[in-house]
Amino acid sequence: MSWWARRDLRDYMPGPGWRGRSGPNLAADWIERLGPWVGLIALCLALYLPGLSALPPFDRDEARFAEATKQMLETGDYVRIEFQNEARNKKPIGAYWAEAASAELFGGADAPLAAYRLPSVLAALAAALIVYAGGRVLFDPRTAFIAASLLATALTTVVEAHLAKTDALLLAATVAAQMALAVIYLKREASPGAIWLRALIFWIAIGAGVLIKGPVLPLISALTIAALCLADRSWRWLAALKPFVGLPLAVLIVAPWFIAIQRATDGAFLNQAVGNDLLPKLLGAQESHGSLPGTYLALLSISFFPGSLFVFPALATAWRKRILPAERFCLAWALPAWVMFELIPTKLPHYVLPLYPALALLTARFIVGIDGARVVNRITRYLAWFGWTIWTLFAVALAGVAVALPGVLHQDWASPALAPALLLLAATIAALIHLRRHASIRAIGLAIGGTAAFAAMILQTVLPSIPELWLSRSAAQMVHRAAPQGAEVAATGYAEPSLVFLLGSKILLGDPENVAHFLRDHEQGLALVAAKEAFRFQDVLQQDGVAVEAIDHRRGFNYSNGKWVDLTLYRRAVKPQ
């Protein structure tokens, strides 16, 4: 019997027929039952562990989160959030606490960056497992397993699982809340104990989501509930959510820290989080991340890869079947919130990640439904061909960029990415061949396997081996070679948060005048100076009568702003004896 089959736990308990089971058969049954869980865990670990230690900080927000958490561990203040000496009143405390707990297990403030990233790995893994568990209730085990695999392998999920910030944690909280909501919506006739358990899971997840990223999860759940109630023209099922108990519980989860931070900052946290972070994103393009409505849809073939192979016809099919409760729930989860994110002027690819579990479930449902058959509906067939074409072009482009990147940046034309690129292309061709044979499950299996192998090799070996991509790492290595026992450091012309995390919160980031005065006042100090600021730096030192010498130099590509940076390390010149 296939391990996809739905079984009852009573099959494995003493009772009628028990004596007829032999030992090996019972073991095989347990292997079949545990197989999907073990497979999902193995897939997630194969995707998320490579590069976890090898990759330096590669996102500005990640470096800010990790550094602020490190400073919490150094000071023992787990209420206020600070980056160097500046209050970071933007996001709530949840991600910082998770990272602090993880880092404490691996050396405290001196823990490696991988320790700060570990909560994101576990959260992404948990999200995939919960999708599988919930998908079995909404659809069937085979659909659930494919959906969980699509979510785990989506490029956005893989990236966020490697970053020490909020989005993977928010994904896990969202999946927990929405799957509990789905079971409440679909299984309205249940025992009182089961109803209470589902309601408690929902409200605990809502409270955790608020602690992680403020109102995002409550908004998604509220939009889902509103869409379902409007479509069904019924609100009675909401009684199973136990809101008069659950809402106070969610508030109780959030309130202690919120009260503490408001007192610690004299009310500044809420004012700055709303006035300086949330509202600017809602009203305009913050930090040059603005884009037009439709951007997330245009990027879906990339951000949801490899699931984007089937996502467009899957959405069209789900819309035609929206009368069915499971399809209706997934559409209510994805569509209203997607419109909301499209209308918000500030856009980043990971903003729509909490909606990907719904897309994964609908896509998996479509894949299982058409396996071995032709797509009959004309519109769905056109969408399928469109999706397959875009998917193929992106797969080829991804392989090409991976091969070319080391050559362009590092002049290493014997690209280490050749093997993973060829593997991805082979998987792409094999998937397309199976599509032509209408073997959709085999096609998506090849796509998932090829993407997982490609991502693991790129993250573990290719990207970390390109020094030009990691200027902060190169700068930290220069400093550590010049002063193995540690030294006070200043920098000008290059002020990335990753540099602060790698060299410590005491590094001075300033203009050339301040850094020149720093070297004047610190005889053993070191200064990192970008080429564009070198003339002013040298001019001020000459005026102060201070002689310096360049002891090291690195050139790198700052992908955060798309510019090359020449960075030189200076120290006070040694006076002749």
Domain membership flag for residue 3: no
- pLDDT score for 284: 60
pLDDT at 16: 39
Q: Which of 434, 467, 500 is the last residue of a domain?
A: 467
Walking along the chain (577 residues) 10 residues at a time, the average pLDDT comes out as: 36 38 63 88 98 94 96 96 92 96 95 97 98 96 97 98 97 98 87 90 98 96 97 92 96 96 92 78 62 92 97 96 96 98 92 98 96 82 94 96 88 79 96 94 97 96 93 96 91 96 95 94 94 94 92 93 94 72
Same-domain check for residues 337 and 238: yes
Beta strands in 407-497 (DSSP E): 489-492
Tens digit of pLDDT for each residue in 164-200?
Answer: 999 999 999 999 999 999 999 998 777 888 889 999 9
Final residue of a domain: which of 314, 337, 370? 370
523 and 489 in a common domain: yes
Tokens of 296: 């997330």
CB 407 within 8 A of CB 413: yes
234 in a domain, yes or no? yes
Angle at 43 between CA 40 and CA 46, to 5 degrees: 150
Q: Provide the whole-model pTM.
A: 0.93
For residue 66, the model assigns a pLDDT of: 97
Helix (H) or strand (E) holding 286: none
Q: DSSP per residue over 349-374, as a string?
A: GGGGGGGHHHHHHHHHHHHHHHTTS-
Judge if 120 and 229 occupy the same domain.
yes
> Within this chain, do residues 66 and 154 fall inside the same structural domain, yes or no?
yes
C-beta of residue 538 within 8 angstroms of C-beta of residue 513: no
**Shared-domain flag, residues 160 and 17:** yes
CB 415 within 8 A of CB 403: yes
89 and 115 part of one domain: yes
Residue 529 domain flag: yes
Asked whether residue 421 falls in the same domain as residue 558, the answer is: no
Supply the CATH number for residue 490's domain. 3.40.190
Domain that holds residue 416: 378-467
Please tell me the predicted confidence (pLDDT) of residue 37: 96
Nearest Cα to 240, choosing from 194, 178, 176?
194
Question: Does one domain contain both 341 and 387?
Answer: no
pLDDT of residue 8: 37
Task: Tell me how many domains the chain contains.
Answer: 3
Q: Contact, 492 vs 514, CB < 8 A?
A: yes
107 plus 203 within the same structural domain:
yes
Same domain, 413 and 482: no
Residues 129, 112 share a domain? yes
**The last residue of a domain, from among 431, 447, 467:** 467
Whether residue 577 lies inside any domain: the answer is: no
Residues 427 and 521 in one domain: no
Residue 4 falls within a domain, yes or no?
A: no
Residue 2: inside a domain, yes or no?
A: no
